[in-house]
Amino acid sequence: MTFEILSVGTELLLGSIVNTNAQYLSRRLSELGFNVYYTTVVGDNPHRLKSALETAAGRADAVITTGGLGPTVDDLTKETIAEFCGVKCVMDEESRQRIIDRFSVGNREIPENNYKQAEMPEGCIILKNDNGTAPGAIIESENCTFIMLPGPPSEMKPMFDDLVEPYLEQFSDGVIRSKSIRIFGLGESKVDEMLGDLMNSSHNPTIAPYAKPGQVELRITAKADTVEKAKEMLKPVEQKIRDVLGDKVYGTGMDNSLENVVVEHLREKGLVTVTAESCTGGLIAEKITRIPGSSECFECGYVTYSNEKKEKLLGVKKDTLDRYGAVSEETALEMSRGALENSGADIAVAVTGIAGPGGGSEEKPVGLVYISICTKDFHKAYKFNFAGSRDMVRERTSLYALDLIRRYIKGDLKG
């Protein structure tokens, strides 16, 4: 069974919002063993939407739409699909009552146009919305099935997971399961060189690389009759990858970021970290504190952009700054030592560098960065030369700092 995803909304075409719905649906359909060959975005225009429906219905067994189910005049997905399928929309009393019940919480007045959301295509399968006022719908036409979902991800995701997935299971002839292996410190070409034979010889499961800023994700995908069999097929391939790449593998899972792994390791070990940042301006601390539960392992951070504050807040010696400069191994070491002693934390990480675009020299070019780790029994600085824009240098610096924390906790850093 082949699918096309049709995302409806002028705001998507204008770039006002990111189309995360298509990404989510593509992944979920793949896990269920279905093929998605096309994704399309169309604005809130009935003529262009009808044209997109004609094209999608001609090349897919089923079309999933997101968006255009709201109460306003430009929300026309349901009406356009109903017309396309030759049915009319009629008031569904159960859906109407659900709208009334939802607005009754807090005694809110119901705008009259909200009842438009309860007008459903005749003969459709109605998908109840427990997270909003717009129900979804499934129309099983002769040549194509149309599945209509609301646009807000907070409504679309649970509706797909709870109602659409059980509906689709009757059409699946197998399941697909994927696992992401997340790698830091190696470029995509180096990963390909190290794993080339394994990647080329693997057909089920398959291995596909996805490059991201400063890191690589390997997606292992297996297709089998059952979920259990597919998961078992993934295990030996994952182990082979770990055997080759070693500590460059920092985690698994599509949503498991480097900062999330660092926070997990810190909490598991009962450790607290502190940051001292110059060129990154607090970016490392921001990454750590965006993770729920980080308050258990992160108490404070220093942003010492000027030499004066490096001296006053972190105890960096004026002589060190005069002799070696703010961007130096010596300054990075003193920054991390000062942060550790001032805070009483278990691990301190300090960064200082030249993010650019100006400020570089032949001796100290743009992209030169020093990162230092300091604990009661470990103190070392590492030199890096990062290429790219100012934002790229700052991003890579913050990620390498996090990775050094991770590797220290795992015992992979040597003095």
DSSP conformation letters of 144-174: -EEEEE-SSHHHHHHHIIIIIHHHHGGG-SS
Q: Looking at the structure, do residues 284 and 244 belong to the same domain, yes or no?
A: no
Q: Looking at the structure, do residues 33 and 77 belong to the same domain, yes or no?
A: yes
**What does the block give as tokens for 6?**
């049709």
Assess whether pLDDT exceeds 90 at residue 135: yes
Which stretch of DSSP H or E encloses residue 243? helix 227-245
Please, what is the average pLDDT of the chain? 94
Mean pLDDT throughout 277-304? 97
Q: Looking at the structure, do residues 335 and 225 belong to the same domain, yes or no?
A: no
Output the pLDDT for position 251.
93
Split at pLDDT 50, 70, 90, the class of 324 is: very high
Count CB atoms within 10 A of the CB of residue 219. Answer: 15
**What does the block give as tokens for 378?**
């470990």
Output the pLDDT for position 106.
73
Domain boundary among 198, 217, 252: 252
Output the pLDDT for position 398.
97
**CA 368 from centre of chain:** 29
Nearest to 412, CA basis, from 236, 249, 238: 249
DSSP for 35-83 reads: EEEEEEEE-S-HHHHHHHHHHHHHH-SEEEEES--SSSTT--HHHHHHH
Instruction: Give the integer Cα–Cα distance in Å for 107 and 105.
Output: 5
Output the pLDDT for position 377.
95
**What does the block give as tokens for 306?**
């000027």
Assess whether pLDDT exceeds 90 at residue 108: no
Q: Looking at the structure, do residues 214 and 132 belong to the same domain, yes or no?
A: no
Query: Residue 93 sits in a domain of what CATH number?
Result: 3.40.980.10
Angstrom distances, CA of residue 277 to CA of 46, 93, 167, 301, 401: 53, 60, 52, 8, 10
Output the pLDDT for position 280.
98
Output the pLDDT for position 263.
98
Mean pLDDT throughout 204-233? 88
Q: Looking at the structure, do residues 50 and 121 belong to the same domain, yes or no?
A: yes
Split at pLDDT 50, 70, 90, the class of 185 is: very high
In sequence order, the 6+-apart residues with CB closer than 8 A to the CB of 40 are 4, 5, 6, 7, 52, 55, 56
Instruction: Give the integer Cα–Cα distance in Å for 390 and 101.
Output: 52
Split at pLDDT 50, 70, 90, the class of 214 is: confident
Q: Looking at the structure, do residues 152 and 183 belong to the same domain, yes or no?
A: no
**CA 196 from centre of chain:** 26
Domain boundary among 200, 218, 252: 252
**What does the block give as tokens for 65?**
């739409």
Assess whether pLDDT exceeds 80 at residue 309: yes
Query: Residue 198 sits in a domain of what CATH number?
Result: 3.30.70.2860
Mean pLDDT throughout 299-321? 97
Which stretch of DSSP H or E encloses residue 185? none
Q: Which amino acid is at 327?
A: V
**Count of domains in the chain?**
3
Query: Percentage of the chain surpassing pLDDT 90?
Result: 82
Assess whether pLDDT exceeds 80 at residue 244: yes
Q: Looking at the structure, do residues 159 and 263 belong to the same domain, yes or no?
A: no
**248 in any annotated domain:** yes
Output the pLDDT for position 282.
98
Contact 236, 162 (CB under 8 A): no
Query: Residue 403 sits in a domain of what CATH number?
Result: 3.90.950.20
Domain boundary among 193, 218, 252: 252
Q: Looking at the structure, do residues 219 and 302 belong to the same domain, yes or no?
A: no
Chain segment 42-74, per-residue pLDDT in tens: 999 999 999 999 999 999 999 999 999 999 888
**193 in any annotated domain:** yes
Q: Looking at the structure, do residues 311 and 369 belong to the same domain, yes or no?
A: yes
Q: Which amino acid is at 69?
A: L
Instruction: Give the integer Cα–Cα distance in Å for 138 and 82.
Output: 10
Output the pLDDT for position 245.
96
Mean pLDDT throughout 100-120? 88
* Higher-pLDDT residue of 253, 377: 377
In sequence order, the 6+-apart residues with CB closer than 8 A to the CB of 69 are 75, 77, 78, 117, 134, 135, 136, 148, 149, 150, 151
Give the range of the structural domain holding residue 96, as residue numbers without chain letter. Answer: 2-171
Mean pLDDT throughout 169-184? 87
Output the pLDDT for position 181.
95
**16 in any annotated domain:** yes
Instruction: Give the integer Cα–Cα distance in Å for 306 and 296.
Output: 29
Torsion region of 196: left, alpha or beta (phi above 0 gives left; psi -120 to 50 gives alpha): alpha
* CA max distance for the chain: 82
Split at pLDDT 50, 70, 90, the class of 30 is: confident
Q: Looking at the structure, do residues 159 and 32 belong to the same domain, yes or no?
A: yes
Q: Looking at the structure, do residues 267 and 403 belong to the same domain, yes or no?
A: yes
**415 in any annotated domain:** no
DSSP for 204-223 reads: SSEEEEEEETTEEEEEEEEE
In sequence order, the 6+-apart residues with CB closer than 8 A to the CB of 116 are 71, 75
Q: Looking at the structure, do residues 11 and 145 belong to the same domain, yes or no?
A: yes
Contact 397, 351 (CB under 8 A): yes
**What does the block give as tokens for 133?**
């006022």
Query: Percentage of the chain surpassing pLDDT 70?
Result: 100
Assess whether pLDDT exceeds 90 at residue 237: yes
